[in-house]
Amino acid sequence: MSWEIAERPGYLGKKRDEIHSFWDKQYGKDNWKLAYQWGDRIISREMAIQIYEDAYYEYFKNNSLFLEWLVKRASDIFDTDESNLKSDLDYNNQETSNNHIHDISIKRAILRLGKKFLGDHVVQVRWVDSEGFLINPGVVPFHKPELILKEEIKDYGEKGIWWKENTIEDFYQRNKVLLMRKI
């Protein structure tokens, strides 16, 4: 049995569970999966998340001022809610209605660089008005922009495309594919 690309779904956001239910009805449960296109290959979500994390690693390695600012200021970081702190370094521990991987990727990249948080408060790394917005994945450049697809994506989010071109988020949303089981 093989898989074929059904669509390029882009950002799911808080509608993730609703959209997954829709795909269960449309394609049949276990007859679809999300994956990523990387060059001419289709890779797993886990591999795409590793590439996403690598982008943060490369960014901090090459932008030590941002790295030092963050580790001196923050005692920890979170995405949408302080409950995200429970995930620590585990991408599979998702307790909110939308996935939060950039906070985990940032933590893991910092660990890989041999650093740790030394600050006195938790820092949110999400919204435009949050203290850590400057390291939001929609702002931080992707380390391999030539591998970001430029094709149109179906956007399920309420806000439309909110990230900048050639950023980590641009890779994560534009290279996402919905695969359906080919019978």
For residues 99-118, average pLDDT = 96
Are 30 and 173 contacting, i.e. CB atoms less than 8 angstroms apart? no
Cα 169 to Cα 15, 68, 125, 138, 164, distances in angstroms = 17, 23, 13, 5, 8
Could you read off the pLDDT of 132-161 as tens digits, one per residue? Answer: 999 999 999 999 999 999 988 877 766 667
**Domain extent at residue 140:** 2-182
pLDDT band at 175 (very low <50, low <70, confident <90, very high): very high
Mean pLDDT of the 95-122 span: 93
Burial, 144: exposed, middle or buried (Cβ in 10 Å; 0-12, 13-18, 19+)? middle
Helices (H), 28-157: 45-62, 64-73, 102-112
Q: Are 121 and 102 in contact (CB under 8 A)?
A: no
pLDDT over threshold 70, residue 23: yes
The set of residues, in sequence order, having a beta carbon less than 8 Å from that of 162 and lying 6+ positions away, is 11, 138
Name residue 167's amino acid.
T
| pLDDT score, position 159 | 65
Kindly report the pTM of this predicted structure: 0.92
Number of structural domains found in the chain:
1
In the prediction, which pLDDT does 25 show?
96
**What average pLDDT does the segment 99-121 reach?**
96
Q: What is the pLDDT of residue 126?
A: 87
pLDDT of 121 strictly over 90:
yes
In this prediction, residue 125 has a pLDDT band, given cuts at 50, 70 and 90, of very high
Question: Are the C-beta atoms of 105 and 60 separated by less than 8 Å?
Answer: no
- Residue 158 is predicted with a pLDDT of 63
